Each structure stands twice: as structure tokens, then as C-alpha cells.
Structure 1
Amino acid sequence: MAFPDRIISEFDHTLRALAGVHEAARPNPADEIVEAELDEKERAHAAGLMRVNHVGEVCAQALYQGQAITARDPQARAALEQAAGEEQDHLAWSAERIRELDGRTSLLNPLWYAGSFVMGAAAGALGDRWNLAFLAETERQVEEHLSGHLQKLPAEDRRTRALVEVMRADEAKHRDTALGLGAAELPAPVKLAMRLASKVMTTLSYRL
């Protein structure tokens, strides 16, 4: 794809991510699961956790876009684009579940998207090994984060739990793919900075 066409495509992708109009390519893992009878507090809590997850998927779209634009190796770019496609499923599933729980998506999504795109492009500019390293560490931290959500969600909320379990499995696969393609090991201070940034994002997006 020519560079101008790629820019137009990425701009369209951005608008779709922020507007929440993505459609999942795969069936929703919760489609066959009966809705649990949750009280108002449980529904609000589950909606808040899924809002955090939705923000994570908005950020993932931006990260992958930024990384794919600057990736040099076609194999690395293809891996990023495939992962981005699966993350689009997560984005659609999360938005749908938030609506089912009578919640809303984060008011700060444009901010999260812009910051993540810049970080993704910067990682890609450092070269493919560091690009993949950033991807691997991001997915590792997201996997941990989703595991934490499975502990916090109401046990009877099987619909939300089914989504989170599939999302977690996908994140682990993306991490393994990045490592298999030769990802470098990020320095400890960079990992810590990523973890702190994630903490700020999750805390704010649970409420906003």
C-alpha cells in the first residue's frame, strides 16, 4: 500500500476506534452464556472493569498503528497487523458488554489513543527488535491486568468472565509471537515506566 493510502487507512482506523464502530470478526465468546442477575453495585463494578479493558483495547489499536507504520521488517509489520485485527475483536466485545451492563466508555479515549500512538511510533522508530520488545512487554502487562480482573469480577458474571478469558489468551499469544520474532529485552526502568503509566490509565478510566 502506498504511503498516502496507508495514512488515509490509518486515519479511518483511528476514527473507528474512537467512535466504537468496530465489528468483531470472531463470534462473541459470551453469546451462548445466560446473563446473570447482578445487583446494581455488581453491574457498576463489572462495567467499570470492562471500561478499563475497553480503554486498553483503544490503546492497543493506537500502539499497533504507530508500530506498524514505523516497522521496517515485513514479517514484524504483518505480526503487528494480525494482532491489531484480533484486538479489534476485543474492542467490539468490550464495547458491547459495557452497553449490556448499562455503562459507558471512557470520556478520555481520545487522550489515551493519542498518547499510545506516539509511544507506538517511537518504539517502531527504534528498530524492529525494540518495537517487538515493546509489544511483548505491553502484552505481558495486559495479561497480568486481565488476570487481576478475573479475580475482581463477580463469580456469577460468566458473560464478562468469558470475554476476559479469551482476551487474556489472545494477549499471551501476541506476546509469544513477538518473542518468537526476536524481541529484545526492555530495560527495567522502561518496564517500570510502562507499569506506572498503566496504573494511571486504569485508575482514571475505571471512573472516567
Structure 2
Amino acid sequence: MSVAPTLSGFAPFSRRRGPLDALFGEVDRALRVLTGAATASRPNPAEAPEPEPALTEQEKRHAAGLMRVNHVGEVCAQALYRGQAAVCRDEPARKLLLEAAVEEVDHLVWCSQRLEELGSRPSLLNPMWYAGSFTLGVLASYAGVPRNLGFMAETERQVEEHLDGHLMTLPETDQRSRQIVSKMKDDEAKHRSSAENAGGVPLPAPVRGVMRAMSRVMTTTAYRI
């Protein structure tokens, strides 16, 4: 705590930011993500004026399962990039990670809105996904900036593949879900390209394989739980 003197006596109290401030900030952000209190900075790409065609119960369940997987993916991406940025000391790389995290919040909100429209809910395991992804992000950042950004690029590459698969299996009549997924895919491609152009290097094959295996566990579980 410091107090600066002025001609009239003393200035109002000013407080230096400490390590706990950053921690509390991350906890607050995590709670917003996990409780659905986060807000999007861009309009939902599925906001269409005309009513959508009715989906069968089977189509609704399948679409909800895929959008729940996408929602979990955005929970993980948000936590991952916040974790990577938390210990990154390279300002351009840190800025890139935080900018991507902002757009991932948009995806998170859009998926949540679509789940509600489909009469479904997010994954019950989201707190576990968030904590694990944040920890993984911190560890990735300690590998150095090129690997840190390479991890971001590989993450986005694998997400693009998942979204491609979802576009192939989503019901043709579910245009609202398809519009959201298409916009997400465009954003993920942009994030991948930004990370590569900023100096991200390809990750070793074993690391990419582990990432795919972990992703497979997450998507299989999140589709149902």
C-alpha cells in the first residue's frame, strides 16, 4: 500500500497489483465460463429471422450431443489459452493467446445458446475439463514461445478436423447449428494461421498423438455427459 503526498495533503490511497490479483482474475473468469455468465463480443451467427424447420427427436439429440462436444471444446480452449498466457513473458505471444481466448468465449456462448434451444445442457464435467486444460496450458508455456505457439496451432488444427466432421453429420435441416459450427471453423483456422505466422513450430509426432488421444476421450465423454 502506498500513499503519494500532494500540495493539499495526501492523495487517495493507491494499491499495487500483486500475484494474487492475477490469480483472482483467473478464478473469476473460470467461474464466468463454467456458470454460463460469460457474454459474447460478437452476434450469434445463427441469429436468423425465419423459423427453422422442425427436427426429429433423434436429430435433436444428435445435434445437442455435437454442440455439447463443441461447448466442451471451447471450455478447454478458453482454459488452455488463459493458462498459456498466464506464464508467458513474451508480450506479442501473450497478446495473441489472449485475443484468441476472447473469440473462444464467443464460441462458448453461441454453443450454450444453441444447446438451450435444443432443450439440452452443457457437459457436467466442465469444471474438470477447465482445470485440466488450464494446467496443460501452463505447462505448454514453459516449453518456450515457439513450442507454446506450436501447441496453439496444433490444437486449432485438430479442432478444425473435428468441426469438419460435425458439419458432415449434423442434420441438413439444422441450419442454426451448422451456421455456428461454420463460423467457429473459420475462426479456428485464423487462430492456427496466426500462431504459425508468429513463430509456432510443429510439435513432435508423439505429442500430437497424445493430444489426439486426449481429444478422443473428451469428445466421446462430452457427447453423452
Coarse TM-score class (shorter-chain normalised):
over 0.9
For the 8 Å contact 1:72–1:127, the answer to whether it is kept is no
Give the one of 183, 187, 206 matched to 1:189. Answer: 206
Q: CA deviation at 1:4?
A: 2.8
Residue correspondences, number:
208
Q: Does 1:177 align with 2:194?
A: yes
Give 1:1-208 correspondences, 5 Å limit.
Answer: 2-32=18-48, 34-208=51-225
Q: Counterpart of 2:188 in 1: which secondary structure?
A: helix
Higher helix share: 1
Larger mean Cα displacement after TM superposition, 129-138 or 26-35? 26-35
Unpaired runs of 5+ in structure 1?
A: none
Letter matched to residue 162 of structure 1: Q
What TM-score results when the alignment is normalised by the length of structure 2?
A: 0.90
Distance across 2 between alignment mates of 1:5 and 1:184: 32
Separation of aligned partners in 2, 1:89 and 1:65: 15
Q: Alpha-carbon deviation of 1:3?
A: 3.3
The structure with the largest alpha-carbon Rg is 2
CA distance in 2, matches of 1:114, 1:91: 16
Q: Which moved more, 1:50-59 or 1:110-119?
A: 110-119
Q: Which runs of 4+ in 1 moved over 4 A?
A: none
The offset of 1:7, in angstroms, is 1.6
Where relative contact order (Cα < 8 A, 6+ residues apart) is larger, the structure is 1
Structure 2 residues without counterparts, runs of 5 or longer: 1-16
TM-score, with structure 1 as normaliser: 0.97
Q: Once the two structures are aligned, what percentage of the paired residues are identical?
A: 56
